[in-house]
Amino acid sequence: MAESSRYLAHGPRVGIRPLTLVDGEAFTTLARQSRELHHPWLALPLTAEEFTAYASRLVGEPARAGFLVCERDSGKLAGFVNVNNIVQGAFRNGALGYGAFAHAAGRGLMSEGLGLVVRHALGPGMGLHRLEINVQPANHASIALARANGFRLEGFSPDFLYVDGAWRDHERWALTREMLQGRERKGAPG
């Protein structure tokens, strides 16, 4: 398959493509290998049944979109980025959720992949104006990823999401199309 048709967009080391129902085995295998990395921040589907339910909420759903970050040389999944709670009209907003798989963590692949999804979502691909990331304050890796991609801290929400058995506080980070365009004019990554 030609690279131009394999990925929606690609950078030097990764490409992004839509999540599909046939990605289940690879996704769940990597999710099981990454449980320690993800705990307590998120819980990914670990079985075929859990993946089918997860993917069904993302595939063909107008209020959500799921993307896989893939290593360009091998096609191996490096992580995922989901755009959730998509609202069109005057708001044109989406909330991002993302995670790296353990073998890709700390290698910069997710930063590159998140940047590709952000440009796709804020560009002609999805036509959104604003993206938000809600992250627990102690999740330093996720905050670094948001910051590296130009998101700004906008606020703090106590007891925002139910994660790992409790209501957790979250910081709210956001990026608009204009902020992204300004960064790109200055030559900043993301």
pLDDT digits (tens, 9 = 90+) for 149-188: 999 999 999 999 999 899 999 999 999 999 999 888 887 6
Q: CB of 80 within 8 A of CB of 68?
A: yes
63, part of any domain: yes
Count the neighbouring beta carbons within 10 Å of the beta carbon of residue 85: 13
pTM score: 0.92
125, part of any domain: yes
Q: How confident is the model at residue 4 (pLDDT cuts 50, 70, 90)?
A: low
Tell me the pLDDT of the chain averaged across its residues. 93
Q: Which domain holds residue 51?
A: 3-185
Tens digits of per-residue pLDDT, 63-99? Answer: 999 999 999 999 999 999 999 999 999 999 999 999 9
Q: CB of 122 within 8 A of CB of 80?
A: no
**CATH classification at residue 101:** 3.40.630.30
The domain total for the chain is 1
190, part of any domain: no
Count the neighbouring beta carbons within 10 Å of the beta carbon of residue 166: 9
92, part of any domain: yes
